[in-house]
Amino acid sequence: MRAVVQRVSAASVTVEGQVVGQIGPGLLVFAAVGDGDGEPELRWLADKVVNLRIFNDASGKFDRTVQDIGGAVLAVSQFTLYGDCRKGRRPSFTAAAAPELARALFAQFVTLLRATGVPTESGVFQASMRVDAANDGPVTILLDSAKTF
């Protein structure tokens, strides 16, 4: 799995004019399921997200997690994180999981996040979504369960 994690003061996702998920302070997580991903990758990513120490402590250092600050997570499925642009001008998405599998695994990822006790909202899988975020910092972290970066 891959994710782009942004520290936010607020974020929301809208589908067809309706807000389907929104949070205050916390993490906006764009997540993608790769071909071959399964439960180990889901667990790794969920654990990494809720335990990332990217919130400031009293001295201004990154030492607090989303749980520590009482924040929330907004998870948005984004298969384009597996876009390969090394050749040509159109991205190839062959490394992304098939939609049927990705839908089930993304739902399981959201369930794992919620099981940690962190309030978690999500977008709508395969929908055209408008995501609004008030980045805090900004702080943006890239995560990859295959550890390619």
76 burial via Cβ count (<10 Å: 0-12, 13-18, 19+): buried
Q: Specify the pLDDT at position 149.
A: 80
**Of all residues in the chain, what percent carry a pLDDT higher than 90?**
98
149: in domain: no
Number of domains in the chain: 1
Model confidence band, residue 107 (pLDDT cutoffs 50, 70, 90): very high
Among 80, 111, 126, 140, the active-site one is 80
**Of all residues in the chain, what percent carry a pLDDT higher than 70?**
100
Among 6, 30, 55, 78, the active-site one is 78
Contact predicate 28/131, CB 8 Å: yes
139: in domain: yes
Hey, what are 47's tokens?
């654990």
Q: Give the type of residue at 46.
A: A
47: in domain: yes
105: in domain: yes
Spatial CB neighbours of 77, under 8 Å, sequence gap ≥ 6: 30, 31, 32, 33, 102, 106, 122, 123, 125, 126
Full domain range(s) for residue 122: 2-144
pLDDT digits 0-9 by tens, 14-65: 999 999 999 999 999 999 999 999 999 999 999 999 999 999 999 999 999 9
Contact predicate 95/82, CB 8 Å: yes
Among 30, 55, 79, 109, the active-site one is 79
110 burial via Cβ count (<10 Å: 0-12, 13-18, 19+): buried
Would residue 108 show up in a list of annotated catalytic residues for this protein? no
pTM of the model: 0.97
Q: Residue 78 maps to which CATH number?
A: 3.50.80.10
